[in-house]
Amino acid sequence: MATRTGFADLPLHGGHVPRWLFARMVRLSRAILTALVAEFGTAEVLRRLSDPHWFQALGCLLGFDWHSSGLTTTTCGALKTALAEVGAELGLFAAGGKGAVSRTTPAEIQSVAERLGLDPSPLIYASRMSAKVDSAALQDGFQIYHHAFFFDQAGRWCVVQQGMRENMRLARRYHWLSEGLQSFVVEPHTAVVGARAPWVLNLVAREAAPAREVLPELAQKPPDLLVAELQRVQSLRLPPRHALLLSDIHPQRLESVFLRTYEAAAPDFERLLAVPGLGPKGLRALALLAELLYGAPASFRDPARFSFAHGGKDGTPYPVDRATYDRTIAVLERAVRQARLGEREELNTLRRIPLLFRSP
């Protein structure tokens, strides 16, 4: 796949997906997934879902405007529903979703893993750590509310999760892929896409290594000492960036959090991040102290850096053409059926279509 860079603001439109359209999204998703697995295997499907441009194009193909509300959540919902029907056959599975459903991800992973005879622990850990990184180690003002976890029977996985900045009605999407992942806490994303944030604390940036080295040591200091240092810092005249870090931190309320980190005695940043109860404010307080006391700064670099086939659900650029949508489903489903019978002519024809649009 071609590598592309850049960023896109994602202002959210209102509206909902009608039942007739979602049913078609599921059928088309099922046909697309079946064709992709047959042609390229499950690893390639995970790679494509972790590519934000491909994912966005898929959402548009299913009937969304490039920036319409629900593209991420409904596309993942359609994929998950389709995989509930054919996942066992394809060897590809989905867990999680929007809101409260995201919290059932570990249980869903465990249920599938038990059926497959697969150790669920690495998958559950990957799900939890990706969520913790994007909610605490990368603080960009976007509240994570959607977490979709896709995995195959070989234990490979990808994550598509989304955060919302409610007051500005803007979204940001975070993509992860197990393939090639060196660390959960050093540049772990395949991409972060969405509106630029005015202020970001990025503890997983490569240049934040000094902070990641110091934070575990700092977290093992007695809680009362950390609280006293924060109270002292509050009385100082701080430059704008430090004032932002401190703006909504209340030292006394963090004492119980510091007690947990003290007792955990985490030897490195990843295991510190995994400590239950250590959230964005506690980590931000530790990052502030790491810079002021040890001269170990974090990073404030924002990591954040599309097509119509059937119309958009909001009527932009035109309403969904149901007849064309149904023909697309029928053609793809027929091609997949024939390929399974050894007749690959139609599927091979579909594979050649992109060649027509390449620049000479």
Nearest to 306 by CA among 25, 54, 2: 54
Q: Quickly tell me which residue has 């810092």 as its tokens.
A: 233
Sequence-separated (6 or more) residues with CB below 8 Å from residue 259: 223
What span, in angstroms and rounded, lies between the C-alpha atoms of 192 and 295?
Answer: 28
Note the pTM of the prediction, 2 decimals: 0.80
* DSSP letter assigned to residue 134: I
Backbone angles phi, psi at 65, to 5 degrees: -70, 160
Tokens of 25: 């999204």
Backbone angles phi, psi at 172, to 5 degrees: -140, 140
Distances (CA, A) of 246 to 14, 224, 227, 279, 282: 35, 18, 13, 15, 11
Domain ranges of the chain: 19-200+304-353, 206-294
Cβ neighbours, 10 Å, residue 251: 18
Residue 15 has what pLDDT? 57
The letter for the amino acid at 32 is I
What span, in angstroms and rounded, lies between the C-alpha atoms of 339 and 345?
Answer: 8
pLDDT along the chain (360 residues), means of 10: 45 67 92 92 95 84 65 92 97 96 97 95 98 96 95 97 82 93 96 82 95 96 93 70 69 92 96 95 91 89 61 50 69 70 60 43
Are 58 and 160 within 8 A, CB to CB? no
What span, in angstroms and rounded, lies between the C-alpha atoms of 146 and 236?
Answer: 39
Tokens of 70: 């629900």
Are 91 and 156 within 8 A, CB to CB? no
Residue 238 has what pLDDT? 63
* β-bridge mates for residue 148, sequence order: 96, 160
Residue 355 has what pLDDT? 40
What span, in angstroms and rounded, lies between the C-alpha atoms of 228 and 223?
Answer: 9
Residue 132 has what pLDDT? 97
Residue 56 has what pLDDT? 83
